[in-house]
Amino acid sequence: MENTTRVKSEEMIGRIDGRLMKNKVIKGIFLTATAFTSIILIVLLYRIISQGAPYLSWDFFQNFASRRPEQAGIKAAVIGTLWMMSVVIPTAAILGVGTAIYLEEYAKKNALTRWIQMNISNLAGVPSVVFGLLGLTIFVRVFGFGNSVLAAGFTMALLVLPVVIVASQEAIRAVPNELKEASFGLGATKWQTIYRVVLPYAIPGIATGSILAFSRAIGETAPLIVVGIPTFVAFLPSGYLDSFTALPMQIYNWTSRPQVDFHNLAAAGIIILLGVLILMNSVAVWIRNRYQAR
Amino acid sequence: MKPVKVLTLSALLGSALLLGACSDDADTGATGEGAGDAQLQGEISIDGSSTVYPIAEAVAEEFMLEQPDVKVTVGLSGTGGGFEKFIAGETQLTNASRPIKDEESKALADAGVEFTELELAYDGLSVVVNKDNDWVDQLTVDELKKLWLDNGSTKKWSDIREGWPEEEIKFYSPGTDSGTFDYFDEVILDGGQIDKSATLSEDDNVLVQGVTGDANAIGYFGYAYYLENKDNVKVVPIVNEAGDAVEPNAETIESGEYAPLSRPLFTYVSNAAIKDDEAVAAYTQFTLENASVLAEDVGYVSLPEEKYTEQLETLEGLK
């Protein structure tokens, strides 16, 4: 009797080493994974910053594109991207959050809504070129917007819409039922409850998900090329039906040029693009913190 | 929890961006207005080949210095994509790195668009090999065919000419959507299948890197890319019809000695646009008057002077 227990505990002590070993190996694997991604990121950032930083100057922001690398600037692209996002953000936010509210709060859970839900999830995986073709057919040709800010903005809004919807749905679903029931219990209508209880609670989640989606719209090139957005534009748009160019178009063009100077300009353009993305992500963080605090 | 804040939040994001855009807009609105009767107004949209793009960009840049109220935009949908927009009447000019195809000119006729073909410059497709490749001294068109046409198996240098090393050849070619590929297809492949092992890329810089990094590589791309990478790759002289092995350079490309891989670069312009729109007519004229200098500026080879003069006369007839 006593003998067997001793053997068992000895066995267990023997196994502990093995388990600790396993623990170390697994930890090592995860650490390698993290280090690998970080190193790639650092190398990329280092390369781009060392290539592009010397080209970042006030003139770079003030000048239009040029055949002479030393005179070329990114003004039209930066302003064009801002114009485009001023269409994408309200369109995608209003349609996306609206759809999410309807699906989560109003729609009956039946075969039809399940079918809609499935389609939304599938849309999120459709290649962006397809959205470009859709934009070219509908907004550029049928609606006659031409290669304008509006056409590109709507196309990009459609591209990110599924992600905005799914993110907003998740956020709305996370609102505790008790809160909603309390609101109903006080005599609030459905809309009052959504407006005063559900949305304020869900805003941090909606904002985080949406802004990640909007960041995608800033970086996409393929749909813009298909829609026919020009690359050389030496003026700023004065309305939503004007032509414009966007950051990724300009960067894409510069990287494919033969001259090394243009490749460096492209790196400078990428730094600007990264800057815009970091700015947007900071806004997301700010919104989350602000609303979570209350 | 004030509901107002929820609304302001979404409005805030959009309007902040809008404001930024508007304030920058104010400073361009005032320039060039009432600067005399020579000032034209209008919008010109140009699209097409990314090979021709640098020339078009240079022309547009210079033109807008003279005519700031004419808004010129240049896109790079590629030669085929450009024609598609030209057929739809969405552009007044379209750039092409190959002559128009029969089906494209038929579609234009169906759409009722009359057009004129203008040559802007020459490009010499440069066949290049790795710097360490000391065996390839020149290539004939037949050897190029043998190299690039798919024969169902992998090729070694020794298959092309006796005495060359028994090493597998790596191929780098522009993507099949590009006008550059189309031209090579026409003069070398003759519609045949390009070697299936070839690496295809729309970005010629990728081809340059591929050839630079592999001793057994061969590739081809526009002259401007060779010019920028002279120190990294070795250009192969091509034997022309007269039997001379000729290297691509400004003189041999312009004189036509570098054959058959010299190709003209085109822009196609809508006749109706020239007739009805003074800005388009002025722009086209400006293009022909300055293409020679600007094309050389961006790494292409200008046409002989009389070619531009001839085309300017054609243009006069269209106005």
Q: Which among B216, B238, B260 is the end of a domain?
A: B260
Q: In this structure, are B132 and B245 located in the same domain?
A: yes
Show residues of chain A in contact with B94, CB under 8 Å.
none
Q: Which among B260, B277, B294 is the end of a domain?
A: B260
Domain range list for chain A: 2-55, 62-293
Q: In this structure, are B130 and B255 located in the same domain?
A: yes
Distance from CA of B212 to the nearest CA of A (A): 15
Q: Do B299 and A259 touch (CB under 8 A)?
A: yes
Show residues of chain B in contact with A150, CB under 8 Å.
none
Interface test with chain B among A94, A226, A256, A292, by most B beta carbons within 10 Å: A256
Domain count, chain B: 2
Burial (CB count <10 Å: 0-12, 13-18, 19+), residue A61: middle
Q: In this structure, are B305 and B251 located in the same domain?
A: no
Q: Which among B210, B244, B260 is the end of a domain?
A: B260
Show residues of chain B in contact with A207, CB under 8 Å.
9
Q: In this structure, are B29 and B92 located in the same domain?
A: yes
- A 138-167 near B (Cβ less than 8 A): 140-141, 146-147
Q: In this structure, are B9 and B116 located in the same domain?
A: yes
At A2 the pLDDT is 54
Q: In this structure, are B191 and B288 located in the same domain?
A: no
What value, to the nearest 5°, has the Cα angle with vertex B100 and ends B94 and B101? 135
* DSSP one-letter string for B84-134: HHHHTT--SEEEESSPPPHHHHHHHHHHT--EEEEEEEEEEPEEEEETT--
Q: Do A89 and B3 touch (CB under 8 A)?
A: no
Distance from CA of A121 to the nearest CA of B (A): 24
At A285 the pLDDT is 86
Residue A25 neighbours by CB distance under 10 Å: 10
At B176 the pLDDT is 85
Q: Do A256 and B203 touch (CB under 8 A)?
A: yes
Residue with tokens 């057929």: B87
CATH homologous superfamily of domain A62-293? Answer: MetI-like (1.10.3720.10)
With beta carbons less than 8 A apart as the criterion, state whether A243 and B71 touch. Answer: yes
Distance from CA of B277 to the nearest CA of A (A): 19
Q: In this structure, are B117 and B205 located in the same domain?
A: no
Distance from CA of A91 to the nearest CA of B (A): 10
Q: Do B61 and A257 touch (CB under 8 A)?
A: no
Q: In this structure, are B242 and B310 located in the same domain?
A: no
Give dist(CA B177, CA B34) in Å, integer: 45
Q: Do A90 and B14 touch (CB under 8 A)?
A: yes
Q: Which residue of chain A comes nearest to B299, CA vs CA?
A: A258
**Closest in A85, A238, A263 to B17, CB measured:** A85
Distance from CA of A25 to the nearest CA of B (A): 37
Q: In this structure, are B256 and B142 located in the same domain?
A: yes
* DSSP one-letter string for A79-116: HHHHHHHHHHHHHHHHHHHHHHHIIIIIS--SHHHHHH
At B93 the pLDDT is 96
- Where are the strands (E) in B125-216, listed by range? 126-130, 170-174, 199-201
Q: Do A200 and B227 touch (CB under 8 A)?
A: no
**Closest in A203, A230, A257 to B54, CB measured:** A257
Q: Which residue of chain A comes nearest to B202, CA vs CA?
A: A256
Q: Do A259 and B75 touch (CB under 8 A)?
A: no
With beta carbons less than 8 A apart as the criterion, state whether B96 and B48 touch. Answer: yes
DSSP-derived letter for residue B156 is: B
At A294 the pLDDT is 59
With beta carbons less than 8 A apart as the criterion, state whether A252 and B77 touch. Answer: no
At B191 the pLDDT is 87
**Closest in A89, A195, A238 to B13, CB measured:** A89
**Closest in A67, A146, A236 to B297, CB measured:** A67
With beta carbons less than 8 A apart as the criterion, state whether A137 and A131 touch. Answer: no
Q: In this structure, are B139 and B207 located in the same domain?
A: yes
Q: In this structure, are B100 and B23 located in the same domain?
A: yes
Q: In this structure, are B168 and B224 located in the same domain?
A: yes
Show residues of chain A in contact with B88, CB under 8 Å.
141
Taking 70 as the pLDDT cut, the residues of chain B under it are: 1-37
Give dist(CA A247, CA A271) in Å, integer: 11
Burial (CB count <10 Å: 0-12, 13-18, 19+), residue B316: exposed
- A 208-247 near B (Cβ less than 8 A): 225, 228-238, 243, 245
Q: Which domain holds residue B282?
A: 5-122+264-318
Show residues of chain B in contact with A195, CB under 8 Å.
3, 6
**Paired tokens of A57:** 């100057």
Taking 50 as the pLDDT cut, the residues of chain A under it are: none
Q: What counts of helices (H) and strands (E) characterise chain B?
A: 13, 12
Q: Decide if A93 touches B, using CB distance below 8 A.
A: yes
In this prediction the pTM is 0.83
Nearest to A224 by CA among A110, A147, A171: A147
Residue B220: CATH number of its domain? 3.40.190.10
